[in-house]
Structure formats: C-alpha cells, structure tokens
A and B are shown apart, each in its own frame.
Chain A
C-alpha cells in the first residue's frame, strides 16, 4: 500500500537523520575533505545529500567537535576536516549511547519473540 510505503520512508529518514551525525564523526577520525567523506559514507551504505552534509560539517566545527584547514591536494585547494579532541570525547559517549540503545532494542525484540 503506498501510504504504508510513505510512512516507512518518513520513519526511515528520521531514524537515519540522527545516526548520520554519529557516522560523520566516526568517519572523521581519519582526516578527509567533504567530497571523499561523502563517498566513504555512501560506500558504507549511508548516503547523505550535499546540501545536508556541508552545513552539518560547519555546525560540528562551530560546536568544537571538528577542526578544519584548507590544504592543496591534487593541485586544488580543499578543506580537510578531522575530529577534534573534544569531538573524540563526545564521539566515545555517543557510541556508548548508540550501543546501549541498540542492545536495548535487541533485548526488547528478543523478548517479543519469546
């Protein structure tokens, strides 16, 4: 039924929206510029629109979770991002939270099957 499909899509987008911040932080443990970051997220099964990714990177940088610098790479100036020290600490907490949520849901799901 199309309505159910739309509802699922809406819920799926909502679910992924929150997890994308975490995915970006994890991916930026290694220094990357925006274009390669997007490619690596897509390769990992987490595609993100450019119109969402670049403002998100700016916000995370303003919040002190990322650092960035312009550097020449392949004869072109690119802005490279990586996780800051504060970002590392927040990421560790977020991953802990993520794992706790995941385990809780799995536990609930297992109980439901019993």
Chain B
C-alpha cells in the first residue's frame, strides 16, 4: 500500500487547490477497485511489482493531475498560428539587429578576436532566447485572458493591412555565372597567375600591400574558393538548399573575420615615395587609412546583410 500512498502523494502535489482531497479519495477508490478485481481474477494478493505495473497503467502522476487543471496548454491550437507568426517576425528582426551588432563588435572590439566572437555569439544567443521567451510569455497571458476570442469576434476584413503579393522570385542564372567567372579570375590574380599594374607609370608614389596581407594569403584564397563554390552550387544544384545556406553563412563569416583582422591591423597598404615629398606622402597614407576605417566595417556589414537577404531568398524558395 506504501506504493499507492506514494503515487497519490505525487498526484496531490500537482492537483489544483480546492478539491484535492475529494479527487484523491476518488482516485484511491478506483485504484483499490482495480486491485481487487485483479486479485479476484488471480485468486491471490498482488505483489509490489504487480501493483507497480497497475499504477503505471493508470498514468504518470503529473499527467493524471494535469487533467484536472482548467488550462492544459500554454498556448492553445486557436492562438498558436498567431503566436508562431509573431515569433518568426520578432526573431527575424532580432536576428538582423544581432547580426549587425555581432559584425560591429567583431570588427571594432580591441579584445582578442576569439574572445570577441565568443562574447558576441553569447550576447546574440541571449537576445534571441530572451525575445522568444518574452513573446511566448505574452501569448501565454493572451491565452489565459481569452484575448483571441474577443479579437476574432470583433475583427473586420477592412482592418487587414494591404500586404504586397508574395511571388516566387524568377531564378536569375546571370548572377551566379558572373560570380563564378569573376571569382576564378580573382583567385587566379590572387595566386599570382597574372599581374595587373594598378598604379600609372608616371606616379609619384607606389602603393604596397601591408604585411598583414601575407598572413591572410591562404584565408583570402579559401574565402574566394568558398565564394566560387557558393555561386557554383546556386547555379548547378539549386535544390541543395542546406548546402547553399551553409556556404552563404561560411562566406559571410569568413569575410567578417578577415575584415576584423584587417581593421585591427590598422593599415591595408603602405605608401612608398618615388618622387613625392614627405608631406604629400603623409597625406596619401592618411587618406588610405581613413578609407580603411570606413570601408572595412562597411564591407563587413554589407556582407552580413547580403547573407541575410540570400538566406531569406533560399527560405522563400523552399516555401514556394
């Protein structure tokens, strides 16, 4: 009988207040009737193991007690579509904001890169979880207060917003073809297959790549190769959407990381004098450095934004 007491004790903890004793008295009577019936059929008393099996058949205490509560779902089936829509919208907005914050922190923070990425990721994950929790909480309150019933009774078709029609974006093959061709050309130049003279012959200065580029030689090559793979996948296997999404995220993350390293290095290029004087030289170097201060974060932000747009398009392709 100890087992039955333990079982009913566990049920008691989760019952709604008020009718606890009455409900438990009834459950005890039902369990005892079942035990009696089995004992009668077997012609002997049930042992502990058999009583345990019977109680298990009766149901988990939390399930049994849960049935007596008025509210048995945090968000019911009627409210769920509204909740799901709101959750997706809020998370998409937070994701875009967090992507910018992430990029900004990675590029501009003075702390070591790995530490900044870890902190920025943790901050983004916390924001997303907190937003999801707040939306869920808000809708749980709506479920409890019956807001939806009032709304569904009073809404009018005239009050619906005029939304643009969702249409499948025609597949443009020109973009990935151009991406593959330019990517291969850029990779060839980067790997030294051919040389382009950027400076005019009669220039007073020479512009030389900063030493940081030597350290970034292979990462940049890998990033260009990943970009070619992304465009090739979009062109040749458009149905492989998880692969395309993965390559898109990898390219954006790689670009953001390289931008961060370049920004922290403080210099993209060094100006070497040919005929220029010191003042002219300092002026050109300063101009280059300012362009880097503005241009590198901008490239990082635009890349992340483009990745977001591409992921959205891949998602829309899946829906259509």
Interface residues of chain A, those whose CB is within 8 Å of chain B, are 33-35, 49-52, 54-56, 58, 70, 76-79
Contact = CB atoms under 8 A, between A and B. Distances in A.
Contacts of A55: 67-68
B33 interface: yes
Given A54-B67, A58-B68, A77 B29 contact: yes
A77 B67 contact: no
Contacts of B23: 54, 58
Contact of A49 (B34, B59, B68): B59
Contacts of B59: 49-51
Contacts of A54: 23, 26-27, 30, 64, 67-68
A51 B67 contact: yes
A3 B34 CA distance: 35
B58 interface: yes
A50 B30 contact: yes
A35 B58 CA distance: 12
B32 interface: yes
Interface string B162-204: 0000000000000000000000000000000000000000000
A44 B268 CA distance: 84
Given A35-B33, A77-B25, A79-B26, A50 B68 contact: no
Interface residues of B, number: 16
B318 to A, nearest CB: 21
Contacts of B19: 58
Contact of A35 (B25, B30, B64, B67): B30
Contacts of B25: 70, 77, 79
A34 B33 CA distance: 10
B115 interface: no
A9 B32 CA distance: 32
B35 to A, nearest CB: 11
B67 A52 contact: yes
A49 B23 CA distance: 16
Contacts, number: 42
A76 B30 contact: no
B64 A78 contact: no
B280 interface: no
B97 to A, nearest CB: 39
Contacts of A58: 19, 23, 68
Contacts of A76: 29, 32-33
A34 B26 contact: yes
Given A49-B59, A51-B59, A79 B29 contact: yes
20 contacts: A33-B29, A35-B34, A49-B59, A51-B59, A51-B64, A52-B67, A54-B64, A55-B67, A55-B68, A56-B67, A58-B19, A58-B23, A70-B25, A76-B32, A76-B33, A77-B25, A77-B29, A78-B29, A79-B25, A79-B29
B275 interface: no
A78 B31 CA distance: 12
Interface string B242-286: 000000000000000000000000000000000000000000000
B63 interface: yes
Nearest to A39: B37
Contacts of A49: 59
B63 A34 contact: no
B20 to A, nearest CB: 12
Interface string B51-67: 00000001100011001
A58 B19 CA distance: 10
Interface string B1-28: 0000000000000000001000101110
Contacts of A70: 25
